[in-house]
Structure 1
Amino acid sequence: MALSKAPSVAHVRVDEGSAGQRIDNFLVRVCKGVPKSHIYRILRSGEVRVNSKRVAQTYRLQEGDELRIPPIRLAEKADVPPVPVGKPFDIVFEDDALLVLDKPAGLAVHGGSGVSFGVIEQLRRQRPEAKFLELVHRLDRETSGLLIVAKKRSALTVLHDMMREGRVHKRYLTLVAGRWLNLQQHIKLALHKYLTEGGERRVSVSPEGKPAHSIVRLVKRWQSCSLVEVELKTGRTHQIRVHLSHSGFPLFGDDKYGDFALNKQLEKAGLKRMFLHAAKLGFRHPLTDQEIELASPLPAELEAFVVSVEQNEEREYG
């Protein structure tokens, strides 16, 4: 539910989808456009009431709670174009607690940072009846493949714990420049996040960064490049891209950490995107404990590029 711009008291009943969420985070979500500082001010002042009582900002909502939210006047903003319904996503797995979709490359997982909408906004637009849809994890905009979305807060909470504890197994396929020699290799390099002068997020290998662990397995190699599978033991931002680039094997088509001159050649040869695909997921269901193993084949454009690599190598090296 989003609050109206009209200055009137809102009364909200907490449903199953919002149960367990902290009240400050709930208000940030429903009071769209209201600064966080104002949210905390109305909580501290007692203007927000839960079952007619004042609560702290750390209070966790219970199903059936009755909220009173005071009048909040928002500054008028320019009209924002509606989120397009778009083409339905390819759903790989779904039950009443979660779904896993096959994200196409080129689509952000959520709006922000100059992007007006992403997968989650489009999914909510496609499913207006859904009470709760939240991303469990993220994929880079140019990465395709398996993405988990929670349909219940209880599932989201457990899945986040599982992610932190390394109990969600994620494997990616990528094509890198150079001949990868080892059948299996562990990369343990700490990663540090920073912003460029232009405000773009970047990651570098640094002893001051957070621990990061990738396991790289060779799938196939040619003279000029290698197809590898990367298993993530940690889930740091841009982990695969930075680990492999730092090791001397930049991802094909990577516009942040890759070989830019090579990328131009690859684009002429038909590769129009970064070659990174979230191919496998394995985890126990957060509510039923059922073992779930999911796989997504390489998208057609990546599969076609691998075929062209094989054909070119055969012609050049026999």
Structure 2
Amino acid sequence: MNQLSKESVTFVEVDEGSAGQRIDNFLIRHLKGVPKSHIYRILRGEVRVNKKRIDQTYRLQEGDLLRIPPVRVATRAEVESFVPAMEFPVLFEDDALIALNKPAGVAVHGGSGVSFGVIEQLRRARPQAKFLELVHRLDRETSGVLLIAKKRSALTAMHEIMREGNSDKRYYALVLGEWKNARQHVKLALHKFDTPQGEKRVMVRDDGQPSHTVFNLKQSLGDYTLLEAELKTGRTHQIRVHLSHLGYPIAGDDKYGDFARNKELAKLGLKRMFLHAHSITFNHPLSGEPLVLTAPLAPELQRFLDGLARSAG
């Protein structure tokens, strides 16, 4: 990224790594610490691309020259002072993708009351990396496979793969209750809403977004069942809400679970939600090579599962 300053107006030349990105998303990342409302305000009147006005949907092209008006931007030191550099367990890495085994309790990105997440910490740990972007998301309390793109071409190709349904994402979930069917398709529309406290929630509602999960019974453990969930769509909290609605809440789920049982489970050693993204299968976005990426269960989940198996046995 070539950047020249002229009387506090900034000129930025778009390089290959930023080509194809929407200008609003580029500015949100480029202008650290500037409120989104202000970014959209300058987009409507003061930002220029090649001396012309554009709207927020414009996609940058390599060689574009951006004129950015004077704005108060957090300094690099301010941005980085509260983001600790952190590497996470790597399951796979090449010049296009990184697959991490994300631990529970870590957000994938900053926002909604969280100052930073995996992507900010990874960027801090790898200052030489020109491009690092999330391919998809995991809930904060969900562990497992998380994909990061190292090239914009890989990011756009992965989004296409997922949009067309050409990836197979599978999760392990321990639920309360005795699940009966070996394989069960669940198609329940999901609606997102905000609670009076401003928290995001999801509920089953006929006019919601079409949502489809397939559940495979893996292990019956008395009053609990270990399920494998295949995501056919990728809605917010999809697995959690589908299971809760059916009367089989995920053990330890603090939003849609059985709160009284969760307290008992904590005393038995389960202090987090038992939901783990254990595998994703797809063809490599650049080479086309088939990839199967798996993340082992977190040790605390495996210990809890082993204890249940001993009790049920």
Q: TM-score, normalised to structure 1's length?
A: 0.90
1:34 aligns with 2:34: yes
Measured against aligned partners, the alpha-carbon deviations of 1:8-52 in whole angstroms (never above 9, x if no partner) come to: 12122212210111223222221223344543444443x433344
Structure 1 residues 309 and 43, CA gap change in structure 2 (3 angstroms): closer
Q: How does 1:79-98 map to 2 (within 5 A)?
A: 81-86=81-86, 88-98=87-97
Match of 1:192?
A: 191
Measured against aligned partners, the alpha-carbon deviations of 1:177-217 in whole angstroms (never above 9, x if no partner) come to: 11111110001111111111111111111101101100000
Q: In structure 2, what is the Cα distance between the partners aligned to 1:296 and 1:196?
A: 33
3-state secondary structure, aligned to 2:307 = helix
Which letter does structure 2 place at the counterpart of 1:39?
A: I
3-state secondary structure, aligned to 1:29 = helix
Q: In structure 2, what is the Cα distance between the partners aligned to 1:305 and 1:17?
A: 44
Q: In structure 1, what is the Cα distance between the partners aligned to 2:89 and 2:308?
A: 28
Task: Tell me by how many angstroms 1:284 deviates.
Answer: 1.2
Q: How does 1:34-113 map to 2 (within 5 A)?
A: 34-45=34-45, 47-73=46-72, 81-86=81-86, 88-113=87-112
- Tell me if the contact between 1:7 and 1:73 (Cα under 8 Å) persists in the aligned partners: no
Structure 1 residues 190 and 8, CA gap change in structure 2 (3 angstroms): same
Match of 1:160?
A: 159
Structure 1 residues 311 and 40, CA gap change in structure 2 (3 angstroms): closer
Match of 1:129?
A: 128
Structure 1 residues 73 and 267, CA gap change in structure 2 (3 angstroms): closer
Q: How does 1:178-257 map to 2 (within 5 A)?
A: 178-257=177-256
Match of 1:141?
A: 140
Structure 1 residues 71 and 248, CA gap change in structure 2 (3 angstroms): same
Q: In structure 2, what is the Cα distance between the partners aligned to 1:41 and 1:7?
A: 21
Match of 1:290?
A: 289
Q: In structure 2, what is the Cα distance between the partners aligned to 1:253 and 1:40?
A: 40
Structure 1 residues 9 and 206, CA gap change in structure 2 (3 angstroms): same
Task: Tell me by how many angstroms 1:291 deviates.
Answer: 1.1
Q: CA RMSD in A?
A: 2.2
Match of 1:116?
A: 115
Structure 1 residues 119 and 74, CA gap change in structure 2 (3 angstroms): closer
Q: In structure 2, what is the Cα distance between the partners aligned to 1:136 and 1:194?
A: 24
Measured against aligned partners, the alpha-carbon deviations of 1:91-133 in whole angstroms (never above 9, x if no partner) come to: 1111111111100011000111111111001110110111111
Question: Which one is further off, 50-59 or 293-302?
Answer: 50-59
Which letter does structure 1 place at the counterpart of 2:16?
A: E
Structure 1 residues 204 and 7, CA gap change in structure 2 (3 angstroms): farther
Q: In structure 1, what is the Cα distance between the partners aligned to 2:98 and 2:211?
A: 27
3-state secondary structure, aligned to 2:257 = coil
Match of 2:261?
A: 262
Structure 1 residues 194 and 40, CA gap change in structure 2 (3 angstroms): closer
Q: TM-score, normalised to structure 2's length?
A: 0.92
Matched residues, number? 308
* Runs (5+) with no aligned partner, structure 1: none
* Runs (5+) with no aligned partner, structure 2: none
Q: In structure 2, what is the Cα distance between the partners aligned to 1:240 and 1:18?
A: 34
3-state secondary structure, aligned to 1:220 = strand
Structure 1 residues 55 and 211, CA gap change in structure 2 (3 angstroms): closer
Structure 1 residues 201 and 74, CA gap change in structure 2 (3 angstroms): same
Question: Which one is further off, 156-165 or 167-176?
Answer: 156-165
Q: In structure 1, what is the Cα distance between the partners aligned to 2:20 and 2:246?
A: 43
Which letter does structure 2 place at the counterpart of 1:292?
A: L
Match of 1:273?
A: 272
Q: In structure 2, what is the Cα distance between the partners aligned to 1:93 and 1:226?
A: 30
Match of 2:20?
A: 20
Which letter does structure 1 place at the counterpart of 2:219?
A: K
Question: Which one is further off, 200-209 or 154-163?
Answer: 154-163
Structure 1 residues 113 and 36, CA gap change in structure 2 (3 angstroms): closer
Q: In structure 1, what is the Cα distance between the partners aligned to 2:44 and 2:29?
A: 18
Task: Tell me by how many angstroms 1:261 deviates.
Answer: 0.8
3-state secondary structure, aligned to 2:216 = strand
Question: Which one is further off, 34-43 or 282-291?
Answer: 34-43
Percent of aligned positions that are identical? 64
